[in-house]
Amino acid sequence: MSEHDDDGLLDAVAALDPVVQSSVPDGSSPTARRLLEEIMSDTLTRSRPAAPPDPDPTPRRWRRLAAAAAAVAVAATATATMWPGATPSASASVSAAIAATLDAADGSARYTLVAEIGPATGPEGGDAALELRAEGVIADGDLSLTSRFGPSAEPEAMSTEELRLVDGDVYLRSTDLGGGWEVAEGRAGPADPLGFFDELGEIATFDEVGSDSIAGEPVTVYRADGARWEETDALSAAFVAFGVALFAGDVAPGDDPPVLELAVDDEGIVRRLDVTGEQGDDRLDLVVEVFDLGADLQVDVPEGAGLS
Amino acid sequence: MSDDRGPDVRFAELFDRAYRPLLAYSRRRVDAATADDVVAEVFSIAWRRRDELPVADEVPWLYGVARNVIRNHQRSGRRSERLDARLRLVRDEPEVGPERSSALAEALVRLRPDDREVITLVAWEGLSHGEAAVALGCSTNAVGIRMHRARSSLRALLDEIEAEGARKGSSGGGHEAHGPDGEPRRTERRPR
């Protein structure tokens, strides 16, 4: 089995295959040749058949991607309410840092994202944690995102996907299949991942919980209490905001509210977002670091896009 | 990405390459007669859309079409046959040992259909995560996450079924369980 199967479960399932492929007629069998002849003699129409509701999965995929891309445009959907008992000075510091970060970025920044998916509880019996690593470039509403995903223990088994959102068009390429760039159906609004911070700024109910360092620079860590996220799902919102939902699919909220922390450097700039939560039986850790705020960045339409 | 071959030539080559795996895919999910219909319908669709076939992903794309065609057949109730019934006909000499095979088949039957589909696409059809993504109409990463969850669920179900068997076994042999079709199924005790 070529895919990750350290416990042999897939091999065991493969052994249950109810059909022995070698016993199945191939394309050269008389039945197959008759069918081919019959089909190829049909020259009447190339219109799409009415019977299957959605026989082509590819457009559906692009529709989902376009919808998700649109979600990127509006950034996080998190809506939070003021929480009585907040720490005013910490919340004010966070609000100021978020405002300063957005000003410094002025629509352009780079970010890295690491998401780890692992067991929440219980013995795992050799189950490997999954990992998603992404690098993003935001440039005046355009977005470039390259992600690698796979089992943490097997870097060589990871797959790479790339996305670009340029002037509302979404392009996607999966290096796993060796195919070229393809264009999603529909159009998306401008990407605004940092808008997620802006949404956080409206909460203004952070507490200072400690200090840390990022690339050798000291940072102050602030935490939003989980109680403030009862009406929403910060983890899902963060995934959407930073474009990862485009690759990872739906992110269902867990039973418990996620823990969300922001790290602010000595210059009052938000450097890191850290969200930890649960999704079903899994634990998800999402860490986003932003840098090159306000740099002269550009995202180009990929060469050869849409020609496949 | 361009392809100098004409669409008719491409189609004939695709037919030769994909006929057997698609027929096998269909036979794993429906009875043989329906499987023939499914394959005919899949290639008819592909023929009508031969100018639009995705060059790099033709075969996984066909799996996606077959999946939808089968779903339609099953929805309409025409000669559908459940996977669990087919699993009961599984090999006489399974490679994983008869007891574990029985429990695993039971776990596979109890698995949510979406989880079962992603696992069997990889384990039976031999698709990579990227190819399964094309067939399922989602991203490769989404397949990876689905596989992770499906494997976790399958393993949990397997443990549960084996524990049930051990409990029943300790009180005197195997036990009878009921599958989704309501038919009694006998699960053998597995020594721990």
Q: Please say whether the beta carbons of A95 and A270 come within 8 A.
A: no
Q: Which of B21, B45, B96 sits opposite A12 (nearest CB)?
A: B96
Report the alpha-carbon distance of residue B16 to residue A301 in Å, rounded: 37
pLDDT tens digits for B127-138? 988 888 888 877
Which DSSP state fits A79? Answer: -
Contact list, A35 vs chain B (CB under 8 Å): 39-40, 43
Inter-residue long-range contacts of B114-117, CB under 8 Å, 24+ positions, other chains counted: B114/B146, B114/B150, B115/B146, B115/B149, B115/B150, B115/B153, B115/B154, B116/B83, B116/B150, B117/B67
* Distance from the A6 Cα atom to the nearest Cα atom in chain B, whole angstroms: 11
Q: Which of A32, A130, A280 sits opposite B19 (nearest CB)?
A: A32
Q: Which residue of A has its CA nearest to B60?
A: A57
Q: Is pLDDT larger for residue A256 or for residue A295?
A: A295
What's the mean pLDDT in A156-163?
79
Report the alpha-carbon distance of residue B78 to residue B74 in Å, rounded: 6
pLDDT of residue A265: 93
pLDDT of residue A133: 86
Q: For an interface test with B, which of A6, A26, A33, A39 has the most B Cβ atoms less than 10 Å from its Cβ?
A: A39
What's the mean pLDDT in A162-186?
77
Q: Is pLDDT larger for residue A98 or for residue A67?
A: A98
Task: Please state the pTM of the whole predicted model.
Answer: 0.54
Instruction: Please determine, for residue A175, whether its predicted confidence score (pLDDT) is greater than 80.
Output: no
What are the phi and psi torsion angles at A159 (to 5°)? -105, 155
Taken as a whole, chain B contains a residue count of: 192
- What ipTM was predicted for this assembly? 0.75
Beta bridge partners of B184: B178
Report the alpha-carbon distance of residue B129 to residue B139 in Å, rounded: 9
Report the alpha-carbon distance of residue A241 to residue A77 in Å, rounded: 8
Instruction: Please determine, for residue B30, whether its predicted confidence score (pLDDT) is greater than 90.
Output: no
- Token pair of A159 as six digits: 């797959």
* Distance from the A210 Cα atom to the nearest Cα atom in chain B, whole angstroms: 33
Beta bridge partners of A212: A219
**What's the whole-number average pLDDT of chain B?**
74
How many contacts, defined by CB atoms under 8 Å, are there between A and B?
232
pLDDT tens digits for A114-156? 888 776 443 444 454 778 888 999 998 899 988 887 777 777 7
User: CA geometry: angle at B73 spanning B67 and B76, to 5°?
Assistant: 140
- For tokens 């004939």, the residue is B12
* Distance from the B45 Cα atom to the nearest Cα atom in chain A, whole angstroms: 7
Q: Is pLDDT larger for residue A160 or for residue A179?
A: A160
Contact flag B44-A12 (C-beta cutoff 8 Å) = no
